[in-house]
Amino acid sequence: MAHPSQLGFQDAASPLMEELLHFHDHALMIVFLISTFVLYIIVAMVTTKLTDKYLVDSQEIEIIWTVLPAVILIMIALPSLRILYLMDEINDPHLTIKAVGHQWYWSYEYTDYEDLGFDSYMIPTQDLETGQFRLLEADHRMVVPLESPIRVLVSAEDVLHSWAVPSLGVKMDAVPGRLNQTAFITARPGVFYGQCSEICGANHSFMPIVVESVPLDYFEDWSFTVLQDS
């Protein structure tokens, strides 16, 4: 969960988000080194005779500023392609959930269970209880088992939406008439919040996503209770 004055990302709650954080730090360090080097060259050109034509126009310098950017691009591209492959890989999911975006709420269908589904609406500010977060709490949470591969099928009923949970490293567009899929594994128990990341209308900011990760035994009890109540 984000907190006031936070500068970095939320704490990772899935292996995928940990990989994304590592790649972010890797790329940011490369950008920092490039910026420092360029700043040094600018200062040196202003304060010294670095602009000497025999230095600036030399063949060695041209080779360096041709080869070095290519090496930097490779250093960024290789880990980037690896993470893109991991994000697209879905192997033997233990549970499949269909998330459908509406104006302006989400509905969830647990496709491995018969008749297990519900709508998830934002809790109005006046109905919040102590400790709940404004604009982020939902009346029904998407409950998933801990440390289990979860596949989420994402679609929309009316306009474009986007199902996104930052701490899980998940963001998938919900397109009417199309079924997109994403996957994640929760590495720790807890409640993880997200919001629709597509400008989908007047109440765009009022359709939160709440994912609760619980042990398998608790999940089975929860699913049985929901089925009994439906």
What is the per-residue pLDDT across 122-147, written as a single tens digit (0 to 9) for each?
A: 999 999 988 889 999 999 999 999 99
Domain assignments of the chain as residue spans, ordered by start: 15-88, 95-229
8-state DSSP, 124: P
Sign, CA dihedral 56-60-66-70, equals negative
| pLDDT value of residue 59 | 77
pTM across the whole model: 0.85
Rounded-to-integer distance, Cα 144 and Cα 47, Å: 61
pLDDT tier at 42 (50, 70, 90 boundaries)? Answer: confident
Asked if pLDDT for residue 118 goes beyond 90, the answer is yes
Q: What is the CATH code of the structural domain delimited by 95-229?
A: 2.60.40.420
